Amino acid sequence: MEKKTLLTDCPDAMGLISKITNICYKHQLNIIHNNEFVDHSNRQFFMRTELEGIFNDETFLFDLDRALPTGSHRRLVSSARKKIVIMVTKEAHCLGDILVKAFDGSLDVEIAAVVGNYDTLAPLVEKFDIPFHHVCHQGLSREEHEEKLLAAVQQYQPDYVVLAKYMRILTSNFVASFPNKIINIHHSFLPAFIGAKPYQQAFERGVKIIGATAHFVTNDLDEGPIITQNVIPVDHNFSAEDMARSGRDVEKSVLSKALGLVLDDKVFVHGNRTVIL
Amino acid sequence: MEKKTLLTDCPDAMGLISKITNICYKHQLNIIHNNEFVDHSNRQFFMRTELEGIFNDETFLFDLDRALPTGSHRRLVSSARKKIVIMVTKEAHCLGDILVKAFDGSLDVEIAAVVGNYDTLAPLVEKFDIPFHHVCHQGLSREEHEEKLLAAVQQYQPDYVVLAKYMRILTSNFVASFPNKIINIHHSFLPAFIGAKPYQQAFERGVKIIGATAHFVTNDLDEGPIITQNVIPVDHNFSAEDMARSGRDVEKSVLSKALGLVLDDKVFVHGNRTVIL
Amino acid sequence: MEKKTLLTDCPDAMGLISKITNICYKHQLNIIHNNEFVDHSNRQFFMRTELEGIFNDETFLFDLDRALPTGSHRRLVSSARKKIVIMVTKEAHCLGDILVKAFDGSLDVEIAAVVGNYDTLAPLVEKFDIPFHHVCHQGLSREEHEEKLLAAVQQYQPDYVVLAKYMRILTSNFVASFPNKIINIHHSFLPAFIGAKPYQQAFERGVKIIGATAHFVTNDLDEGPIITQNVIPVDHNFSAEDMARSGRDVEKSVLSKALGLVLDDKVFVHGNRTVIL
Amino acid sequence: MEKKTLLTDCPDAMGLISKITNICYKHQLNIIHNNEFVDHSNRQFFMRTELEGIFNDETFLFDLDRALPTGSHRRLVSSARKKIVIMVTKEAHCLGDILVKAFDGSLDVEIAAVVGNYDTLAPLVEKFDIPFHHVCHQGLSREEHEEKLLAAVQQYQPDYVVLAKYMRILTSNFVASFPNKIINIHHSFLPAFIGAKPYQQAFERGVKIIGATAHFVTNDLDEGPIITQNVIPVDHNFSAEDMARSGRDVEKSVLSKALGLVLDDKVFVHGNRTVIL
pLDDT for A15 equals: 86
- If asked whether residues C73 and C86 sit together in one domain, one would say no
pLDDT of C57-105, one tens digit each?
Answer: 999 999 999 999 999 999 999 999 999 999 999 999 999 999 999 999 9
Main-chain dihedrals φ then ψ at residue D91, nearest 5 degrees: -85, 135
Write the CB contacts of A268 (distance below 8 Å, at least 6 apart in sequence). A7, A9, A46, A48, A274, A275, A276, A277
Contact of C164 with C88, CB cutoff 8 Å: yes
Is a pLDDT exceeding 80 seen at residue C31?
yes
CA dihedral C214, C217, C219, C223 (to 10 degrees): -20
Q: What is the CA radius of gyration of chain D?
A: 21
Give CA A81 to chain center in angstroms. 15
pLDDT for A245 equals: 94
Checking DSSP bridges between strand A44-53 and strand C160-163, what pairing results, if any?
Answer: unpaired
- If asked whether residues D68 and D188 sit together in one domain, one would say no
Q: Cα(A153)–Cα(A163) distance, rounded to whole angstroms?
A: 12
Among candidate residues B202, B204, B167, the one with its CA nearest the CA of residue B186:
B167
Inter-chain residue contact D22 with C22, CB threshold 8 Å = yes
Provide the 8-state DSSP code for A187. Answer: S
Q: Cα(C142)–Cα(C154) distance, rounded to whole angstroms?
A: 18
Q: What is the mean pLDDT of residues A131-150?
A: 95
Give CA C199 to chain center in angstroms. 23
Question: DSSP alpha helices (H): ranges in D5-104?
Answer: 16-26, 57-67, 93-104
Is a pLDDT exceeding 80 seen at residue A248?
yes
229-248 in chain D: CB under 8 A from chain B:
229-231, 235-237, 239
Contacts of B21 in chain A (CB under 8 A): 15, 17-18, 21
Share of chain D above pLDDT 70, in %: 100
Q: What is the mean pLDDT of residues C32-45?
A: 92
If pLDDT is split at 50, 70 and 90, which confidence band does C132 have? very high
If pLDDT is split at 50, 70 and 90, which confidence band does C14 have? confident
Q: Cα(B178)–Cα(B150) distance, rounded to whole angstroms?
A: 10
pLDDT for B47 equals: 97
Element (H, E) at C152: helix C142-154
- If asked whether residues B66 and B118 sit together in one domain, one would say no
Q: Cα(C41)–Cα(A203) distance, rounded to whole angstroms?
A: 11
Is a pLDDT exceeding 80 seen at residue A37?
yes
Any B CB within 8 A of C35 CB: no
At D31, which CATH number? 3.30.70.260
Q: What is the CA radius of gyration of chain C?
A: 21
The number of distinct structural domains making up chain D is 2
Inter-chain residue contact B249 with C253, CB threshold 8 Å = yes
Write the CB contacts of B17 (distance below 8 Å, at least 6 apart in sequence). A17, A21, A31, A34, B36, B47
Share of chain B above pLDDT 90, in %: 90
Q: CA dist B36 to A50, A261, B49, B271, D197, Å?
A: 13, 20, 8, 18, 29
pLDDT for C222 equals: 84
pLDDT for D126 equals: 96
Q: Cα(A95)–Cα(A89) distance, rounded to whole angstroms?
A: 10
pLDDT for A220 equals: 84
Contacts of B190 in chain D (CB under 8 A): 192, 205, 207
Given the residues B57, B222, B249, B265, select the one marked as catalytic. B222
Q: How many cross-chain Cβ pairs, A to B, lie less than 8 Å apart?
A: 36
Is a pLDDT exceeding 90 seen at residue B220?
no
* 3-class DSSP state of A127: helix
Domain encompassing residue B9:
2-78
Q: What is the mean pLDDT of residues D31-47?
A: 92
Inter-chain residue contact C245 with B106, CB threshold 8 Å = yes
Q: Cα(B46)–Cα(A14) distance, rounded to whole angstroms?
A: 22
- If asked whether residues B42 and B178 sit together in one domain, one would say no
Catalytic residue list contains C39: no
Q: CA dist C189 to A213, A236, C192, Å?
A: 14, 17, 6
How high does pLDDT run on average in chain A? 95
Choosing from A78, A108, A141, the residue where a domain stops is A78
- If asked whether residues B73 and B96 sit together in one domain, one would say no
Q: What is the mean pLDDT of residues D101-109?
A: 96
- If asked whether residues A114 and A68 sit together in one domain, one would say no
Q: What is the mean pLDDT of residues D75-100?
A: 97
Given the residues A119, A222, A235, A265, select the one marked as catalytic. A222
pLDDT of D176-220, one tens digit each?
Answer: 999 999 999 999 998 989 888 999 999 999 999 999 999 999 988
- If asked whether residues A35 and A106 sit together in one domain, one would say no
Among candidate residues C198, C180, C207, the one with its CA nearest the CA of residue C251:
C198
Chain C nearest C-alpha distance from A268 (Å): 10
- Give the other-Cβ count within 10 Å of D74's Cβ: 17
Any C CB within 8 A of B222 CB: no
Chain A nearest C-alpha distance from D178 (Å): 29
Residue D158: left (phi > 0), alpha (psi -120 to 50), or beta? Answer: beta
Q: What is the mean pLDDT of residues B191-218?
A: 94
Is a pLDDT exceeding 90 seen at residue A221?
no
pLDDT of A77-102, one tens digit each?
Answer: 999 999 999 999 999 999 999 999 99
Chain A nearest C-alpha distance from B235 (Å): 14
Q: Is B187 exposed, middle or buried (0-12, 13-18, 19+ CB in 10 A)?
A: buried
Q: What is the mean pLDDT of residues B67-74?
A: 96
Choosing from C53, C78, C103, the residue where a domain stops is C78
- If asked whether residues A148 and A251 sit together in one domain, one would say yes
Choosing from A78, A99, A123, the residue where a domain stops is A78
How high does pLDDT run on average in chain C? 95
Q: How many cross-chain Cβ pairs, B to D, lie less than 8 Å apart?
A: 77
Among candidate residues B102, B74, B242, the one with its CA nearest the CA of residue B160:
B102
Share of chain C above pLDDT 70, in %: 100
pLDDT for C56 equals: 97
Write the CB contacts of C267 (distance below 8 Å, at least 6 apart in sequence). C227, C261, C274, C275, C276
pLDDT of B226-257, one tens digit each?
Answer: 999 999 999 999 999 999 999 999 999 999 99
Contacts of C93 in chain B (CB under 8 A): 100-101, 104, 106
Among candidate residues B126, B68, D127, the one with its CA nearest the CA of residue A130:
D127
Q: Cα(D236)–Cα(B272) distance, rounded to whole angstroms?
A: 12
- If asked whether residues B212 and B260 sit together in one domain, one would say yes
Say if the ipTM goes beyond 0.90: yes
- If asked whether residues C20 and C89 sit together in one domain, one would say no
CA dihedral C104, C106, C109, C110 (to 10 degrees): -10
Any D CB within 8 A of A249 CB: yes
pLDDT for B11 equals: 97
- If asked whether residues A32 and A117 sit together in one domain, one would say no
pLDDT of A157-216, one tens digit each?
Answer: 999 999 999 999 999 999 999 999 999 999 999 898 988 899 999 999 999 999 999 999
pLDDT for B195 equals: 83
Contact of B185 with B165, CB cutoff 8 Å: yes
pLDDT for C195 equals: 83
At A114, which CATH number? 3.40.50.170
- If asked whether residues B226 and B267 sit together in one domain, one would say yes
pLDDT of C162-213, one tens digit each?
Answer: 999 999 999 999 999 999 999 999 999 989 898 889 999 999 999 999 999 9
Q: Cα(B216)–Cα(B195) distance, rounded to whole angstroms?
A: 16
Among candidate residues B260, B270, B257, B253, the one with its CA nearest the CA of residue B82:
B260
